[in-house]
Amino acid sequence: MRHEEMLIGGTWTASRSGGVIEIENPATGEIVATAPKADRDDLDAAIAASVAGHRAWRAVDAWERSRRLRLAAQRIRDDRQAIAELLTEEQGKPLAQALAEVDTCVDQFEWYADEARRIYGRTVDGTTGDVRVEVRREPVGPVAAFTPWNFPIMLAARKIAPALAAGCSIVLKPAEEAPSACLRMVRAIESAGFPAGTINAVTGDPAEISERLVGSRAIRKISLTGSVRVGTLLLRLAADTIKNVSMELGGHAPVVVWSDVDVEKTARAAAAVKFRNAGQVCISPTRFLVHSDVVERFTEAFAAAARQVVVGDGREPGTGMGPLASARRLDEVDALIRDAVDRGARLVAGGERLDHLGAGHFYAPTVLTGVPEGASISTVEPFGPVALIEPVESLEEAIERANATDYGLAAYAFTHDLDVARQLSEGIEAGMVGVNSFGVSTPVAPFSGVKASGIGAENGTEAMDAYLVSKTVVTGIS
C-alpha cells in the first residue's frame, strides 16, 4: 500500500498529527493508499509557506517564469505513464482516458508558459500635461485552489498553471477520493525549480481545509471546481475576508439535434462522449432535445451504442467505461434513475447496477425517454452514465427547454443550417456552445458558465484575469 505525503514549503511530509485518509480503488473496493489528513498546524504552515513563496516567485521575471512553466510541462510529459496509472487506479477511468488527461495537463502548462510573457499593462494620457498615468498588472497574491475527483489532475493543472504564470503562489487541495496522481504531478512540477513555498499541496478533510484556507487573510484568491452546494459555502466564507473568487460549479448540458444531420453518426458520436469517464463530466451532454422527425432513429442508434460500451476495470484492455467514483455516487445516480422511472419515464437501455462485475461501483450506460418535468433528473445534474432523450418541434421549444435549468455551463447544437446554428448558439444560455462539435474544452479559450454554473473563467487569456490585479500609478512631473 502506498503512503502519500503533502508538499508544504518545499518539503514532502506527513501530517504533524499522524492522521491519514484512506484511498479506494473504485473498480475493486480495495484500499490502495493513504494520504495525510492535514491538521490546523499543517494548514497554517502551508499558508505561511505560500506567503513566502509568493514573495519570492513574484520577483522572478516573466521570461524566467515562462521557462519554468515549460520545463514543468516537460517533467509532466516525462512521468506521463506513472501519473496515468495512478489516476486509473484511484479514479477508475480507462487508462487511455487517463493518459489523455495527462496530455491536457501538459497543454495547460505550455499554453500558460506563453501567457506568462503576455501580461500587459498600459500607459494612458493624463488629463493634464504634468502627469503620467501607468496601469500595471500584478499578481493577486497567494491562491487556495480546490479540485474535484472526476478530473483530478487536469482541473488542478487549470489552476496551478495560470497562477504560476501570473506570479502567484498556490495552496492546492487535491480531491480526497483520488489524490495520488495529482500529488505525483505536483512532484513533477516542483522539480522544474520553483522557489520553496510557491507550490503547496495539502490533503485531508475538505471542510476543515476550506475553512482554514478561505478564512485566512493571507490567501487572496479562491479557485474552486465543485458542486453548487460547496460553491455557496465557500462564497460565504470568502465574503468574510473579501477574496477574489472564481468557481466552476457544474452543468446539465442540453444537446439540440436538428432534422438535417446524419442521425446515426451523430448518435454514435454523442454516446461516445456521454459515457466518457462514466458521465462524470461537468460538460457531459445529458439532455438530448431531438427534432421529432428523427427522434426515433436517434434514440435507437444512441441506445444501441450505449449497449455496446464495455464496462469494467479501467486497467483492463478494451474497457470503454470504468466504475463510478464511489458507492455514494452509485447510489445517487441509481436513485435519480429510479425516481424518473417511477414517475413514468421509459427505460430504453441500462438502468441497473452491474454487480456481476465485482465489488466495484459499476453501472450500466443508461438511456431514458419520456422523463416528466417533475422528475429530479430533469433539473439535478446526474453526473453519471445516463442520457435523457426528448422530442422537440421547433427552435423556440428547443431553446426554452435547453434553458429550463439553473445551470448554464456547456450546450451543444447539431445542424447543417447556419441560421438554425446561429439562433441556437445565441439563444441558449451557456458559457460554451459546441456547434457540430463536443470539443468545447480547450486551453486557448475560456471555460466558463452562467447562472448557477459559476463565476469567472478558466482557460484562455481570460483565466489570467482572476490571478492579476490592476494597479494605477500616477506620476507628477515638473
Q: Which residues belong to the active site?
A: 248, 282
Instruction: In whole angstroms, give the CA distance from residue 410 to residue 406.
Output: 12
Residue 353: count of CB within 10 angstroms of its CB:
15
How far is it, in rounded angstroms, from Cα 77 to Cα 75? 5
Among residues 157, 263, 196, 269, the alpha carbon closest in space to that of 45 is found at 196
CB 234 within 8 A of CB 224: yes
- Cα–Cα distance between 2 and 185 in angstroms, integer? 16
Give the H or E element holding residue 110.
helix 95-115
DSSP H or E segment with residue 170 = strand 170-173
Cell numbers describing residue 130: 504634468
Collect contacts of 328-336 with beta carbons under 8 A, ≥24 apart.
329/280, 329/361, 329/383, 329/384, 330/361, 330/362, 330/363, 332/383, 332/384, 333/363, 333/382, 333/383, 333/384, 333/385, 333/386, 334/363, 336/375, 336/376, 336/377, 336/380, 336/382, 336/384, 336/386
Contact 240, 215 (CB under 8 A): yes
Q: What is the distance between the alpha carbons of residues 417 and 296, in angstroms, rounded to a whole number?
A: 21
Partnered with residue 366 across adjacent β-strands are 386
392's enclosing H/E stretch is strand 386-392
Could you tell me if 335 and 363 are in contact, meaning their C-beta atoms sit under 8 angstroms apart? no
Cell representation of residue 68? 519554468
The distance of Cα 158 from the centroid of its chain, to the nearest Å, equals: 8
* 478, 130 Cβ separation under 8 angstroms: yes
